C-alpha cells in the first residue's frame, strides 16, 4: 500500500470515528498514533504521543487563546451589552426596523471586546429580544438579526477564530486581526441593508420605535466609552507594535476584569465562574489542537498534503473555482460540526493547497472565518441558532431559520465582494507597524 | 458506602484540579499585565515572565481536561449519532470511552517517561533555571484525572444500560 493511500485511509477512518461520536481531539490523536505506529514502528507512535502534548501544552503563542477567551468572559459578565444596546437604540430606534439595526450595531460593538460568536449571540439575545417583542417585531426578524449579528463576534477582532488560524498556519495573529476589521464592518453594513430592505418590503416586520432627543443620544454614550477605550488599547497596541497579541490579550483580559469590577458585576463567585468557563473552553480547544498535531505528524509522513497541493496546482484550474470548491466543502462541514473543530481539522490538509496556488494566506483566513460564520447559522447544527433558541424558547427553530435567510444572502454577498476586492481585507495589515 | 456512590464522589478530584487551573489562569493574566506595565513604565521587564507563562499554560490545560470531560465540554459530532437506536448508542459510547481511557492512559504513561528523561538530563528553563521534569509529571497527572472521568462515564453508561434491561 502506498503511503498516500494510507493517508487517505486515515482521513476516511477519522470521519467514520467522528460520525460515531468519538471526541474530535481524541479521535485525531488515536489515528495519528496508529498511523505513525504503522508507518514507522510502534516506538515512533508512542514517541509522538509523549512529545506533542508537552510541546503544545507549554507553548507561549498558544497562551493567547485562554487570555482572549477570558477577556470575552469578563465582557460578558460586565453586562455592557445592555448599555451598547441602549446606545444603539437611542441612535437608530426611530427608523423602521431600527431595533433590529440597533441589535446588529450592538453585536458589532460587543464583538470588539469579545472573540466568540456564541457569547456575543447569547448576551445580545437576552437584551434585545424582549425589546423587539415589546414593539411587536416579527420573531423571524428579531431572532434572525441576533443570529446574524452574533457571527460578527469571530470576524471583528479580537477573534478566537483568527487566533487559531494564525497558530495553525504560522501567520501573524496581529495581521489577521487587522484584516478582519473592514470585512467585519462590511458584513455588518450588509446586515443592516438586509434589515432595511425587509422592512421596506414588509413594514409590519419591524415597526419604528419612539424617536429620541439629541440629548438622550449623546448621554447614551456614557455607558460604553470604557469599553471603547479598552478596544482601542488592545487593537491600537497590536497595530502600532507596542505589544504582542499575547500581551494584548493579557492586558485586554485584565482591563475587561477592571471594567466588570467598576460596573459592580465582579465578585468572587462570578470571578471563579469566569475562570472556570474559560478553562473549560481552553481545554476543549487544546485537546483538539494536540490531537490535530498528532494527526498532522502522521499525514506529514504520508506526504498526502504535499501531493494533494501539487496535484491541485498541476490541474491549473482557475483559482476562483478551487476557492469555490473549498467554500462548498466548508459550508457542508459547517452544517454538522463546530467551527473551531473544522478549522483545526482541515487547515493542515488544505493550507498547502492554498500556498501552492499562491493565495494570500491572510486573505484566505478572513474568507475562511466568514464561511465558517455562515456555518454557525445554517441548519441543522447552527450553534448560534440554538443559543438564541435558549433565550427565546417560544419561537420555533424553523421560524428562526426562516429569519436567517436574508442574512445568509448578505453573507454570500460579502464573500463575493471579498473575492472581487481582496484589498478589503489586505489593506490594513499592509499598513500596520507591528508584526 | 457502596461502589457506585464512591465512584460518583471521585468527581471531586477533577473539580479540585479545575480550581488549580483557574488559579494558574488568573496568575497568567496578572503576570502578563504586570510584565508589560513594568517594561513600559519602569523600563524593567520581569525576568523569565515568558517561561513562567509557558509553565502556567501547561498547568492550566492539564488541570482542566478532566473537568471539561466531566462537564461534557469536549466536542464531538452528534448529528448522525443521535439517530442510531439507543442500544447501539450505548455500545458505541462504551467502546469510545474505553478507547479514550486507554489512549489517555498511554499519554499519561508517556508523560511519566518524558518526566524521567528530563530528570536524568536535568533540563532547566533558560533564565530562571526551573527544572522541567515536574511539569511533565503534572501533565501525566492531569491525564490520569481525565482517565478517572472516562471511567466515571463508563460506569454511567454501564448503569444506564442495566436500567434499560430491568
**B6-9 contacts at long range (C-beta below 8 A, 24 or more positions apart):** B7/B151, B7/B152, B7/B155, B8/B152
Q: Longest C-alpha distance within chain B, in Å?
A: 71
Nearest CA in chain B to A15: B77
Cis (ω within 30 of 0) for the bond into A158? yes
Contacts of A62 in chain B (CB under 8 A): 57
Residue from the list A29, A54, A272 with its beta carbon closest to the beta carbon of B136: A54
Check CB contact of B64 with chain A, cutoff 8 Å: yes
Q: How many CB atoms lie within 10 A of CB A224?
A: 18
Give the C-alpha separation, A338 to A27, whole Å.
15
Q: Where are the beta strands (DSSP E) in B18-163?
A: none
Closest chain A C-alpha to B44 CA, distance in angstroms: 15
What are the cell numbers at A407? Answer: 442574512
Nearest CA in chain B to A255: B33
Angle between helices A173-201 and A98-111 (to 10 degrees): 170
Tell which residue, A346, A351, A353, has the closest CA to residue A314. A353
Give the C-alpha separation, A84 to A107, whole Å.
8
The complex's ipTM works out to 0.92
Q: For A420, phi and psi rounded to 5 degrees?
A: -70, -40
Closest chain A C-alpha to B60 CA, distance in angstroms: 7
Contact call for A21 and B76, based on CB within 8 A: yes
Check CB contact of B41 with chain A, cutoff 8 Å: no
- Angstrom CA distances, A410 to A85, A140, A195, stand at 22, 16, 10
Name the 3-class secondary structure at A255: helix
Contacts of A59 in chain B (CB under 8 A): 54, 57
pTM equals 0.88
Nearest CA in chain B to A46: B110
Tens-digit pLDDT string for chain A (435 aa): 788 889 889 989 998 998 888 998 999 999 999 999 999 998 898 999 988 898 888 888 888 889 988 998 898 888 888 888 888 888 887 888 888 998 898 888 888 887 777 778 888 888 888 888 888 888 888 888 888 888 887 888 888 889 889 988 989 888 999 999 899 999 999 999 999 998 888 888 877 777 777 887 777 777 778 888 888 888 888 888 888 888 999 999 999 999 999 888 899 999 999 999 999 989 988 998 899 889 988 988 888 888 888 888 888 888 888 888 888 888 878 777 777 888 888 888 889 888 888 899 999 999 998 888 887 787 666 667 777 777 777 888 888 888 888 998 999 999 999 988 988 888 888 877 665
Give the C-alpha separation, A367 to A369, whole Å.
5
Tell which residue, A90, A182, A180, A211, has the closest CA to residue A369. A180
Cis (ω within 30 of 0) for the bond into A145? no
Q: Which DSSP letter does residue B124 get?
A: B
Amino acid at each position: 500500500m502506498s503511503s498516500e493511500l494510507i493517508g487517505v485511509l486515515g482521513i476516511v477512518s477519522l470521519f467514520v470515528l467522528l460520525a460515531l461520536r468519538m471526541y474530535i481531539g481524541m479521535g485525531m490523536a488515536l489515528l495519528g498514533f496508529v498511523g505513525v505506529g504503522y508507518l514507522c514502528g510502534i516506538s515512533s507512535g508512542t514517541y509522538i504521543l509523549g512529545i506533542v502534548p508537552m510541546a503544545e501544552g507549554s507553548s507561549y503563542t498558544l497562551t493567547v487563546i485562554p487570555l482572549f477567551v477570558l477577556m470575552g468572559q469578563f465582557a460578558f459578565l460586565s453586562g455592557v451589552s445592555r448599555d451598547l444596546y441602549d446606545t444603539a437604540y437611542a441612535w437608530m430606534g426611530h427608523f423602521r426596523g431600527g431595533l433590529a439595526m440597533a441589535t446588529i450595531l450592538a453585536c458589532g460593538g460587543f464583538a470588539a471586546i469579545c472573540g466568540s460568536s456564541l457569547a456575543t449571540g447569547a448576551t445580545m439575545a437576552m437584551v434585545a429580544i424582549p425589546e423587539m417583542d415589546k414593539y411587536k417585531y416579527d420573531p423571524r426578524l428579531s431572532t434572525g438579526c441576533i443570529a446574524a449579528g452574533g457571527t460578527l463576534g469571530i470576524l471583528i477582532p479580537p477573534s478566537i477564530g483568527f487566533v487559531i488560524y494564525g497558530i495553525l498556519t504560522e501567520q501573524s495573529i496581529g495581521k489577521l486581526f487587522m484584516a478582519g476589521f473592514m470585512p467585519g464592518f462590511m458584513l455588518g453594513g450588509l446586515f443592516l441593508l438586509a434589515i432595511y430592505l425587509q422592512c421596506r418590503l414588509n413594514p409590519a416586520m419591524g415597526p419604528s420605535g419612539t424617536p429620541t432627543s439629541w440629548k438622550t443620544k449623546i448621554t447614551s454614550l456614557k455607558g460604553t466609552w470604557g469599553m471603547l477605550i479598552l478596544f482601542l488599547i488592545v487593537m491600537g497596541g497590536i497595530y502600532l507594535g507596542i505589544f504582542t497579541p499575547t500581551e494584548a490579550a493579557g492586558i485586554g483580559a485584565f482591563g475587561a476584569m477592571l471594567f466588570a469590577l467598576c460596573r459592580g458585576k465582579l465578585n468572587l463567585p462570578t470571578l471563579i465562574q469566569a475562570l472556570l468557563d474559560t478553562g473549560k473552553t481552553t481545554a476543549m480547544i487544546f485537546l483538539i489542537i494536540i490531537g490535530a498535531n498528532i494527526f498532522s505528524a502522521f499525514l506529514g509522513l504520508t506526504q498526502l498534503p504535499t501531493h494533494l497541493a501539487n496535484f491541485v496546482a498541476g490541474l491549473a484550474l482557475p483559482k476562483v473555482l478551487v476557492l469555490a470548491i473549498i467554500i462548498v466543502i466548508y459550508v457542508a462541514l459547517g452544517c454538522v460540526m463546530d467551527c473551531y473543530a473544522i478549522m483545526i481539522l482541515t487547515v493542515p490538509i488544505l493550507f498547502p493547497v492554498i500556498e501552492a496556488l499562491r493565495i494570500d494566506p491572510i486573505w484566505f483566513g478572513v474568507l475562511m472565518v466568514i464561511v465558517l460564520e455562515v456555518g454557525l447559522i445554517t441548519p441543522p447544527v447552527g450553534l448560534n441558532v440554538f443559543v438564541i433558541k435558549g433565550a427565546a424558547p417560544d419561537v420555533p427553530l424553523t421560524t428562526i431559520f426562516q429569519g436567517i435567510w436574508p442574512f445568509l444572502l448578505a453573507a454570500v454577498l460579502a464573500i463575493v465582494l471579498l473575492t472581487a476586492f481582496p484589498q478589503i481585507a489586505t489593506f490594513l495589515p499592509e499598513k500596520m507597524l507591528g508584526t | 458506602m457502596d461502589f457506585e456512590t464512591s465512584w460518583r464522589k471521585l468527581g471531586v478530584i477533577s473539580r479540585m484540579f479545575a480550581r488549580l487551573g483557574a488559579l494558574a489562569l488568573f496568575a497568567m493574566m496578572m503576570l502578563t499585565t504586570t510584565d508589560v506595565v513594568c517594561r513600559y513604565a519602569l523600563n524593567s521587564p520581569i525576568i523569565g515572565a515568558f517561561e513562567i507563562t509557558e509553565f502556567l499554560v501547561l498547568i492550566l490545560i492539564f488541570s482542566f481536561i478532566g473537568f471539561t470531560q466531566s462537564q461534557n465540554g469536549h466536542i464531538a459530532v452528534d448529528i448522525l449519532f443521535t439517530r442510531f437506536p439507543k442500544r447501539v448508542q450505548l455500545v458505541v459510547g462504551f467502546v469510545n470511552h474505553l478507547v479514550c481511557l486507554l489512549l489517555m492512559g498511554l499519554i499519561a504513561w508517556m508523560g511519566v517517561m518524558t518526566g524521567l528523561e528530563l530528570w536524568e538530563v536535568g533540563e532547566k528553563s533558560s533564565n530562571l533555571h526551573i527544572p522541567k521534569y515536574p511539569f511533565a509529571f503534572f501533565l501525566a497527572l492531569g491525564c490520569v484525572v481525565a482517565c478517572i472521568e472516562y471511567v466515571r462515564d463508563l460506569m454511567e453508561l454501564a448503569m444506564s444500560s442495566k436500567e434499560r434491561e430491568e
